[in-house]
Structure 1
């Protein structure tokens, strides 16, 4: 069995294994996704075989895919994704080359366009060459390819003592099949097909001599899939593109939409919405937002729940899909290897060879201490948003089982703690799961079991919400018990985690009950659930908004005076948009809405520098005039909870809450983002109605009103 080093789960570790030609800037890479397939390539459309590739079910089925023209690489003109994330386009031109007859072709005489999409486990590519010279030419076009069939965890840095067998390439007339039989006895295949017969086809290369008369154009179609299909051609490409675009359009129509007076702001919102749609996979249980590309393109419990919370006010159907999936995969037995206990909610699921062979525990892994209370919190939030008690009744046995797990997990200390059950699991099991993300002020790594501060906040919210649902179900005794449990957790957090000398909450308590006296953004999540007293919430808010945390682009995960602070680290000083958004929602909950506007502005400006797409994280350097935020080298892009941050920040600015029980919209002290004078939310579902709600800046105030045709349908309650 392969021994897991938890450091290899940190994508930063993968950086050390990349060669000098590796694509290291995630915002310069381009991702496509459909279902359980995704592709990542550079701006040229090339796959180089490092962290990029074409992946199917957590296996890299195309590890190299490079284009040369006339025996040379191309020159990049530009690259882009369509607004709906369906089509990737690279515009290229030739370097000085010779044609097949030895005549020189000057640089810029040829235009090469690569258009790519994914649909139903196949990669489709259209390669178009246009000759803008005055000469007839026969141009050598070469595609170099390979499929290493490496498991995603191998790509991320895990090593294996033994692998399966790579079969000999099967070279056909106009296609080639690459095969690998894994140790799990599954044969994985990658078939590369061409619309015209190559002039030379070898196990790792296809050469085409393309005849171009002056001012002419020629097109080559390529497909990569798991099996032989019909010959690629224009009709197949167009039909697949049309189906993919229709599918994406349907996903983007779910829920309400936003439109503001700011054109660039609208571009960001549209891209964020498209990214959520791209990462959302239709499962038998409903829609589920996969965490991020490339490292986490699968169902994660924590990420799915938080993404659904971010989108809940706009699209509660996403929350329903997440809850249904997690309830179906709730643990029913105890397993140290998978870190499961009855009632616990799944952390991660994988489909690759290494998990199938139990070399790693992540086939279905439960080593997340926060996912179970967050699951309950989402269910309670969904109920408040929709009033859908029928669905909650169907979930009730699962919610009760989750509550029982929380009770059992906190029996010995009064807090929900974690300590990995097997060495193959994660050492740290909160959202900051790097091996060094939990520590004492002097740098000592605490011994377990560990109680994280934000997890206790999630537990407080879970029991508080369950108490309200139990009351609606007529289970008065259970409601009172859960409400008492919530209040007991609140009091214990206030007494055991509060640090008088720092006027802040400790990051965690170690196995001896000693606090980790480190200031982190985790404390901001207590504001998100409303646990602290207003006085203490104000002290936390002041520090989160100080220069120790607030970079000008967002909030750092760790104060800049901590012993392990490093703005280039994965969890110890970087900026995560979803973390900033959760803290911002907490600030808004305690009435600090003007500061939320500042955070929204910094996050939006960060997105502008990242081509309208927020990465998983970026470096936590302080903002300086004229400088852009610094990218983290191997961050996921897109990332669901980063895209969803735009919408949680917007809700926090607007002070908007929907009461699904009474069919009402509540707006409290609304603010608009800087530079935005009006914003309209269209087709906002409230009970059985869909309404348009507009926010308008009037002097130094912001008003809210429903469209005339909706007057009287839904009560709008505005508090200034």
Structure 2
């Protein structure tokens, strides 16, 4: 025991020293003031395992029992950025059941929880009336088309007849997601609750935005008693008997009308008694006489069919490592759970719980990394972002013509303008990434129809880069927010303190980020190729020349010999933020880095200050604001590492890419469900210890889910080239944890392939297991 205490003390001391850098500098950049849109944390999401469900614009955050709100936190049932259910707890004779297991099904289609009754005393003076482990409780929950379905199955293994009182308590606070995150509000709308029937309770909230939001809880069979926040079931179980209880929660949002309904809701004044308009929540209307068990079974069947149709025909992977297979299965399931259908196609929502909505940058990068698995993501992202592209100057939304959407929100605070995110364009990188994705999508699919459909948006995006993105005409794209409500930093590292100088003081804008210039370079190169395909030769030649000039100017302005890498950014005075950061790895990813610089950049990224054994830190240890527990200044992000690995592979530094891949695989072994989180802390890897979690990281997160596919493609040197009808494998390698990998149903045009990779020490052999069509497979050095 003494040895353990000594080790713990030593570990704590080391971590304190490692994270003390920013404190020692004594910065005076309002560091003691909480930044705008800060996610307030009084409890850590790491304290207890949470479970996530999602369908469309609705998602649920549940505890491992399938309950909601038993402890403080973000738990709830959410729809369009509003919490429609803030509490749901099931007790048996006044106690929580004993947990046996709690797992998400392999495809994330439902949560399955196995429990049993605890020791139950029906009278305080009696001995135990019902011994524990007498009655099994199986709970199944899923989301589908405007409703959350919940079945609680009971089975007795007792020789006696038993009666159990099961109580369900519930509430709906209709808090905006930004309130749940910690933002205070001065005013709120009116809320009421109504017992609508002997099987249904309705909550209704009339917002200040004149939207009526309704939550209805439907119970089956008929409870023994029902009141606004509680129902009671008295369940009779004969020996070996079974019983099932059902809870169906539906949620809707409607524009308010002025005609009041005839019912009266508890706590709701006359002004709030408004008739509900047409159903905007998508909840399926069920016949009133249909049993809840039948409704549950039908919805469960339909949800399985829906998920199968969404994933039909995708590329799948089986490897020699069962744990990696499990992680890939979860990553695939996460991608398709986060996928939401739009009129333009499927779009991967960013993450749960804080970012379950459209984010331009996140969707684009997710689609890039998953492109060889399923190009439907890229097509949906391109079409959606083209349809929502800014058409006018709007300072309140940080918008200018041609700029690509950063995020969109539909909660009350966004609708009222209390936060600027209803349609918000405050991102500097989304627009060049959008153009970059268009070329990559075409290169893999040859889908010229989609390119033609979004061509006006691509041209407008180019114009934005030159006219609005380059604020001072120096050839670099930079940002400065147009509204005080907007984000201070508008790259992917958008924390208020993420862009700073060597001495730690924050950079003043307009700010030109290292990685953004790379995105612009790749966008212009890609757009030049698309222009040539469509017969716009003068445009193609001009863009090619602009890309060449940008590469030269970038190297001259951003390279810093002293730190051995590209500077994080240039401030408004064109002074380098000479900080070692992961951003330089994106210069490899986009190809803007000169070949002679690649080795130095790789060495800095993978050096002892950059790579902690699990991954590459966002900011290297020793830099002024380095803090391994921060969001962007020393933490580790899987998607960031995946883009770095893709960049290393571009410059044929596969072994460094494999090293990062190995670290991320090792990280996944310590994560719940083998799921890579949004980010984790950057503390140095230590023997017999796993990585340190970040307290409010999203999990699942779309671009973290896509990262394993990017790592694998990088190490295999996988390139799908539709123009040449060729699958190229450039100097493939496999990390040490993989002896073999098989890719099934690799698609190129009308061709399909199964490819087998086998590692022999440092060599990898490639064999075609199945070929349908005339696609060529080429292995090169």
- Tell me if the contact between 2:754 and 2:770 (Cα under 8 Å) persists in the aligned partners: no
SS of corresponding position for 2:483:
coil
606-615 vs 338-347, greater mean Cα deviation = 606-615
Aligned positions of 1:269-280 closer than 5 A: 269-280=328-339
**TM-aligned CA distance change 1:602 to 1:152, over 3 Å:** same
Match of 2:270 in 1: none
Matches of 2:123 and 2:445, distance apart in 1: 67
Match of 1:70 in 2: 93
Matches of 1:331 and 1:52, distance apart in 2: 34
- Ranges of 4+ aligned residues in structure 1 off by more than 6 Å: 100-103
| Structure 1 residue 375 displacement after superposition | 0.2
Question: Of residues 463, 467, 471 in structure 2, which corresponds to 1:404?
Answer: 463
Match of 1:549 in 2: 610
SS of corresponding position for 1:525:
helix
| Structure 1 residue 699 displacement after superposition | 5.0
Question: Of residues 122, 137, 143 in structure 1, which corresponds to 2:162?
Answer: 137
Aligned positions of 1:249-268 closer than 5 A: 249-268=308-327
The alignment status of 1:613 with 2:675, answered yes or no, reads yes
The alignment status of 1:15 with 2:41, answered yes or no, reads yes
The alignment status of 1:459 with 2:489, answered yes or no, reads no
Matches of 1:524 and 1:26, distance apart in 2: 33
- 1:562-594 superposed Cα distances (whole Å, 9 cap, x missing partner): 122111111111111000000000011111111
- 1:627-661 superposed Cα distances (whole Å, 9 cap, x missing partner): 11122111111111001001000100100101111
| Structure 1 residue 423 displacement after superposition | 0.6
The alignment status of 1:438 with 2:495, answered yes or no, reads no
| Structure 1 residue 100 displacement after superposition | 8.0
SS of corresponding position for 1:502:
coil
Match of 1:695 in 2: 757
- 1:449-489 superposed Cα distances (whole Å, 9 cap, x missing partner): 11111111101111111112212222222112111211222
Match of 2:241 in 1: 216
The alignment status of 1:332 with 2:391, answered yes or no, reads yes
SS of corresponding position for 1:104:
coil
- Tell me if the contact between 1:84 and 1:245 (Cα under 8 Å) persists in the aligned partners: no
| Structure 1 residue 168 displacement after superposition | 3.4
Match of 1:292 in 2: 351
Matches of 2:750 and 2:342, distance apart in 1: 26
590-599 vs 573-582, greater mean Cα deviation = 590-599
- Tell me if the contact between 2:338 and 2:351 (Cα under 8 Å) persists in the aligned partners: yes
Match of 1:247 in 2: 306
**TM-aligned CA distance change 1:140 to 1:697, over 3 Å:** same
Matches of 1:8 and 1:92, distance apart in 2: 42
- Tell me if the contact between 1:191 and 1:225 (Cα under 8 Å) persists in the aligned partners: yes
| Structure 1 residue 171 displacement after superposition | 4.6
- Tell me if the contact between 2:379 and 2:441 (Cα under 8 Å) persists in the aligned partners: yes
SS of corresponding position for 1:162:
coil
Matches of 1:100 and 1:209, distance apart in 2: 17
Matches of 2:291 and 2:208, distance apart in 1: 32
508-517 vs 638-647, greater mean Cα deviation = 508-517
Match of 2:377 in 1: 318
- 1:696-719 superposed Cα distances (whole Å, 9 cap, x missing partner): 224531122323554x72111111
Matches of 1:708 and 1:438, distance apart in 2: 49
Matches of 2:516 and 2:156, distance apart in 1: 61
The alignment status of 1:493 with 2:554, answered yes or no, reads yes
Report the aligned-residue RMSD. Answer: 1.8
- 1:199-244 superposed Cα distances (whole Å, 9 cap, x missing partner): 2222111121212233322210110003774455322212111111
- 1:470-515 superposed Cα distances (whole Å, 9 cap, x missing partner): 1222222211211121122212211111112111111111111111
- Tell me if the contact between 1:100 and 1:137 (Cα under 8 Å) persists in the aligned partners: no
TM-score by length of 2: 0.88
- Tell me if the contact between 2:45 and 2:697 (Cα under 8 Å) persists in the aligned partners: no
TM-score by length of 1: 0.95
Matches of 2:681 and 2:344, distance apart in 1: 37
Matches of 2:690 and 2:236, distance apart in 1: 45
Question: Of residues 187, 195, 198 in structure 1, which corresponds to 2:220?
Answer: 195
Match of 2:719 in 1: 657
- Tell me if the contact between 2:668 and 2:674 (Cα under 8 Å) persists in the aligned partners: yes
SS of corresponding position for 2:137:
strand
Matches of 2:682 and 2:587, distance apart in 1: 22
SS of corresponding position for 1:184:
coil
Match of 1:468 in 2: 529
- Tell me if the contact between 1:252 and 1:273 (Cα under 8 Å) persists in the aligned partners: no
The alignment status of 1:31 with 2:91, answered yes or no, reads no
| Structure 1 residue 385 displacement after superposition | 1.3
The alignment status of 1:86 with 2:109, answered yes or no, reads yes
Matches of 1:6 and 1:670, distance apart in 2: 47
Question: Of residues 641, 658, 662 in structure 2, which corresponds to 1:580?
Answer: 641
The alignment status of 1:155 with 2:176, answered yes or no, reads no
| Structure 1 residue 97 displacement after superposition | 2.2
649-658 vs 383-392, greater mean Cα deviation = 383-392
**TM-aligned CA distance change 1:351 to 1:574, over 3 Å:** same
Match of 2:262 in 1: none
Matches of 2:450 and 2:373, distance apart in 1: 18
